[in-house]
Amino acid sequence: MKIAIAGFGALGSRLGVKLQTAGHEVTGIDGWPAHIAAINTNGLTVVHDDLPPKKYFVPVVTPKEVTGEFDLIILLTKTPQLDRMLTDIAPIITQKTQLLVLSNGLGNIEVIEKHVARDQILAGVTLWTSSLVKPGEIHTTGTGSIKLQAIGHADAISVAAALNKAGLNVEITQDVLTAIWHKAGINSVLNPLSVLLNANISEFGTAGNGMDLALHILDEIQKVGATQGVKVDITGIMNDLTDLLKPENAGNHYPSMYQDIQNGKRTEIDFLNGFFAKIGRQEHIDTPFNALVTALVHAKEDIERVKLAKKQETFEI
Ligand SMILES: NC(=O)C1=CN([C@@H]2O[C@H](COP(=O)(O)OP(=O)(O)OC[C@H]3O[C@@H](n4cnc5c(N)ncnc54)[C@H](OP(=O)(O)O)[C@@H]3O)[C@@H](O)[C@H]2O)C=CC1
Ligand SMILES: CC(C)(CO)C(=O)C(=O)O
């Protein structure tokens, strides 16, 4: 299959390598000049756990440079960047192109619907992980899975088969909305708490009250979900959290939000805890834990951005 990955960052790069290795024709689309140059010149370096680094040569272009037709475009930008990416790659989207979004957070389907017909959209969630440590180099750990569904009449079966050829452990779900809320529940615990506690996933698991904090956050999300007709399965989320703590799954991973903070970037917090706090306010559901976590992550974004700017100034002197 001819596949483009729009957002060839940490996770896009990992999935791109797996898809290319399985025989698909893969093109990365990204906007970070140093990352693009590093990959196109020296290849993408992948360090998986303690194994020796490996190099992969996946072509990467900017949205302005990309040409041709793709059977599938996998959207893997951060959620706030999705709309812009879709605008930028509009020239390569034909009526035959299928688009699969795997970004975290709520509201992605609505954004894609502004750009293409429902019958071209697939939505999913993923437990694959990756860290972009420097331009052209990702560190990966453990394994993962994907759940996806066609929103209208897109061909979920052939997309799932293409991804499974690459060992991506894809399951077709009949209720992706519940899966998206479920994954957002997982992210609303692990992502902000990794930032606020300065911990990777298994380190978070060593906090004596970590799972109590998780339950407070999830209890609010469950109540908010009920107002939207979505059933949030707290036990299922807690089981998934326990699985993710294991090093063979994602224990050694620093969640994507932690990486954003390290890089002085704005995070996806408003599409996770912030989204639940906002709907809670509209529906008169108290969400003190989600509201506090959102405010603290925004404060952390500001602090780290100022620190990073100062570091750069010092460097220039
Ligand atoms: N990393 C992980 O382990 C996991 C991530 N996810 C989710 O997957 C999504 C992607 O995460 P991740 O890979 O970590 O994110 P990254 O920030 O590493 O990658 C996103 C890439 O998209 C590029 N990009 C965004 N918008 C544009 C645009 N308009 N034009 C060109 N390039 C653009 C970014 O470039 P630039 O930096 O220049 O903007 C960046 O390189 C997120 O929703 C995340 O929550 C889900 C599970 C695990
Ligand atoms: C849940 C987790 C941590 C891994 O899948 C993730 O989605 C992320 O890093 O954003």
Report the nearest atom of ligand 2 relative to the CA of 250.
Answer: 4
Residue 63's CB: how many other CB atoms inside 10 A? Answer: 18
Report the nearest atom of ligand 1 relative to the CA of 255.
Answer: 3
SS3 per residue for 95-163 = CCCEEEECCCCCCHHHHHHCCCCHHHEEEEEECCCCEEEECCEEEECCCCCEEEEECCCCCHHHHHHHH
Answer yes or no: is pLDDT of 79 > 70. Answer: yes
For residue 204, the ligand closest to its alpha carbon is: 2
Query: Region 89-101: what's the mean pLDDT?
Result: 97
* Banded model confidence at residue 196, pLDDT cuts 50, 70, 90: very high
* Banded model confidence at residue 314, pLDDT cuts 50, 70, 90: confident
Tell me which residue of 65, 69, 85, 92 sits closest to 7, measured CA to CA.
85
Tell me which H or E stretch contains 125. Answer: strand 121-126
Predicted pLDDT at 226: 98
Predicted pLDDT at 298: 98
CA of 104 to the centre of ligand 2 (A): 8
Predicted pLDDT at 191: 98
Tell me which residue of 38, 16, 41 sits closest to 27, measured CA to CA.
16
Query: Region 257-263: what's the mean pLDDT?
Result: 95
Predicted pLDDT at 313: 81
Residue type, 35: H
Predicted pLDDT at 317: 57
Predicted pLDDT at 149: 98
Active site residues: 183
Answer yes or no: is pLDDT of 126 > 80. Answer: yes
* Banded model confidence at residue 190, pLDDT cuts 50, 70, 90: very high
Query: Region 271-287: what's the mean pLDDT?
Result: 98
Report the nearest atom of ligand 2 relative to the CA of 258.
Answer: 9
The pTM (predicted TM-score) of the whole model is: 0.96
Cα–Cα dist 71/152, whole Å:
17
User: What residues contact residue 106 under an 8 Å CB cut-off, 6+ apart?
Assistant: 180, 181, 184, 271, 272, 275
Mean pLDDT, the chain, integer: 96
Query: Region 57-80: what's the mean pLDDT?
Result: 97
Residue type, 26: V
Cα–Cα dist 134/208, whole Å:
33
* Banded model confidence at residue 312, pLDDT cuts 50, 70, 90: confident
CA of 33 to the centre of ligand 1 (A): 14
Low-confidence winner among 54-58, 88-92, 245-249 (lowest mean pLDDT): 245-249
ipTM above 0.95, yes or no: yes
Predicted pLDDT at 185: 98
User: Residue of the nearest CA to atom 1 in ligand 2?
Assistant: 187
Query: Region 271-277: what's the mean pLDDT?
Result: 98
* Banded model confidence at residue 315, pLDDT cuts 50, 70, 90: low
Cα–Cα dist 145/171, whole Å:
8
Answer yes or no: is pLDDT of 137 > 90. Answer: yes
CA of 301 to the centre of ligand 2 (A): 18
For residue 66, the ligand closest to its alpha carbon is: 1
Answer yes or no: is pLDDT of 227 > 80. Answer: yes
What tokens appear for 180 in the block? 């998206």
CA of 52 to the centre of ligand 2 (A): 24
Q: In the chain, pLDDT over 90 holds for what percent of residues?
A: 95
Answer yes or no: is pLDDT of 316 > 80. Answer: no
- Whether the CB-CB separation of 117 and 84 falls below 8 Å is answered with no
Answer yes or no: is pLDDT of 163 > 80. Answer: yes
Phi-psi region of 134 (alpha: psi -120 to 50; beta: other; left: phi over 0): beta
249: exposed, middle or buried (C-beta count within 10 Å: 0-12, 13-18, 19+)? buried
* Banded model confidence at residue 311, pLDDT cuts 50, 70, 90: confident
